[in-house]
Amino acid sequence: MSDRTIIVVGGTSGIGLEIAKDVIAHGDRVIITGRDRTRTEEIAAGIGPGASGIALDISEPETIAEALRPVGAVHGLVLAAIERDANSARDYSIERARRLVVLKLVGYTETIHTLLDRLDPRTRPASCCSAAGRRTCPTRARRRCRRSTAA
């Protein structure tokens, strides 16, 4: 096990979870985040001994700094959090739309801002989405994030 730690925001399912498994398979440590602490810790335990979990809700950006306070040096940051919300034009909810925009635009950037001083300067954050990241996933799972773009 190396002394490198990768944090995967939104690592309890989907692309984030696959990246977290890949990080462990390559001998690094991983911290995954999800909204529910108990569930996130259980999923981290299932990934392996080098994985740990913390609770984080990036749709509430004011809480991010406190939630990430226990995190030490970070050698890679993957942003894969998304709230799956089918918000159709017919039944449109401005409140839910606004929450999703805050999550993606404010939450992603505030997470980077919060971790910046703990982030290895050779690392650039990777985002598994279209608007906020760069093609720099720290693991071979980056192929799954091929559509990532620059932060």
Nearer to ligand NAP, 19 or 119 (CB): 19
Instruction: With both helix axes pointing from N to C terminus, report the angle between 37-47 and 14-25 in degrees, rounded to the nearest 10.
Output: 40
Q: Pick the piece of the chain touching ligand NAP (CB under 6 A) from 4-12, 69-77, 117-125, 135-143.
A: 4-12
Placement of tokens 């909810």 in the chain: 93
The footprint of ligand NAP on residues 87-146 (CB under 6 A) is 103, 128-129
Tell me the per-residue interface mask from 47 to 66 with ligand NAP, x by CB under 6 A, - otherwise: ---------xxxx-------
**In Å, what is the CA distance from 15 to each residue of 18, 61, 119?**
5, 22, 22
Of the pair 1, 124, the CB lying nearest ligand NAP is at 124
Task: Give the binding-site size for ligand NAP (rule: CB under 6 A).
Answer: 24
Q: Are 120 and 73 in contact (CB under 8 A)?
A: yes
Q: Name the residue type at position 18.
A: E
Question: Which residue minimizes CB distance to ligand NAP?
Answer: 14
Which residues ranging from 5 to 24 are in contact with ligand NAP (CB under 6 A)?
Answer: 10-16
Q: How many residues does the chain have?
A: 151
| Choices 44-52, 65-73, 74-82, 118-126 (CB under 6 A): range interacting with ligand NAP | 74-82
Any idea which residue has 């799972």 for tokens? Answer: 141
Sign of the alpha-carbon dihedral angle for 90, 96, 99, 100: negative
- By CB under 6 A, name the binding residues for ligand NAP: 10-16, 34-36, 39, 56-59, 80-84, 103, 128-129, 147
